[in-house]
Amino acid sequence: MEVHHHPEVEKKGFKEYLLEGLMIFLAVMMGFFAENLREHISDNNREKEFAKALYTELRDDSVAAAQKLQTRNVKTRELAYLHDYFKDSSLTALPRHFYVSYTIGMYLINRYSFEPKDGILSQLRNSGSLRYFKSVDLQKLLGDLSVDINNMRYRNDQEYQFFASPLKPFLLKHFDFNWLNQLRNENTSPNIDNAFKDYMGGKIKATGTILNASAFDRDEAANMVGFYRQLIVSTNSLQLNNYIVDNRKVLETLRKTYPLD
């Protein structure tokens, strides 16, 4: 009976096992490094995209904040005029400029409020994507800016609450809305400043009075206008100014850190 012999398997030496192990180790390490490199490149791209989006939002807001500050300074000047006028000037023989000041200073409010935008910043914060910004200084500045935004919104609420009471009841009692209706009928431009310009230039004939003049309390009116003016001046010099300063710092840091147009 013929006996079949299995072929002998050649045994590997220690060096061969070591070489195979080393090759497997290198393959795993290369895969690990490649994955880390891919994630690093991806993170860098996301960081640059987030930086660009944030820069665009803050740059637009910086322009809006500067414009609002200018218009709010106009409002404070008109309020100063009203304060002095209510003190001792005629309540019946009103100068042409009076109702322009009256409207800008006490009636118009929304066009003088600065509402900071934080859509991108909120998205970054809520999604945890702020971690992509490796600069500690930048993260601190963004934290400061978030505080400024919250403070600005709180201040807007305070200004609106003062408008709701006591300004609104005062206006309903003493403001001649017929004057404003005459103005808007003659000039329907969305920008009311155009109507003011036509009125002051004599192109629009509109007359207004102080309603219920016999019940008009000069001291109360002057104090109310004075307080409102101080409220707005305080917002301008503190909350709004702080936002403008920190916004500028963030924009400068973003420009220095990232290749932004």
Residue numbers of the domain that contains 119: 14-175+211-257
pLDDT cut 70: percent of the chain above it: 82
Instruction: State the DSSP string of 14-51.
Output: HHHHHHHHHHHHHHHHHHHHHHHHHHHHHHHHHHHHHH
Task: List alpha helices for 163-217, DSSP H.
Answer: 168-174, 177-186, 192-200
Structural domain count, the chain: 1
Contact 247, 65 (CB under 8 A): yes
- Within-domain flag for 201: no
How far is CA 20 from each of CA 4, 26, 89, 208, rounded to the nearest angstrom?
A: 33, 10, 101, 97
- Within-domain flag for 1: no
Is the confidence at residue 125, as pLDDT, over 80? Answer: yes
What is the average per-residue pLDDT within 82-100?
96
pLDDT cut 90: percent of the chain above it: 72
Q: Is the dihedral of CA 40, 46, 52, 56 positive or negative?
A: negative
- Within-domain flag for 200: no
Q: Quote the Cα angle for 224-225-230, to 5°.
A: 100
- Within-domain flag for 130: yes
- Within-domain flag for 7: no
Query: What is the reported pLDDT for 40?
Result: 45
- Within-domain flag for 73: yes
The pLDDT tens digits for 209-223 are 999 999 999 999 999
- Within-domain flag for 205: no
The pLDDT tens digits for 22-63 are 667 665 666 555 455 454 444 556 788 888 999 999 999 999
- Within-domain flag for 140: yes
What is the average per-residue pLDDT within 8-13?
57
Q: What is the pTM of this model?
A: 0.82
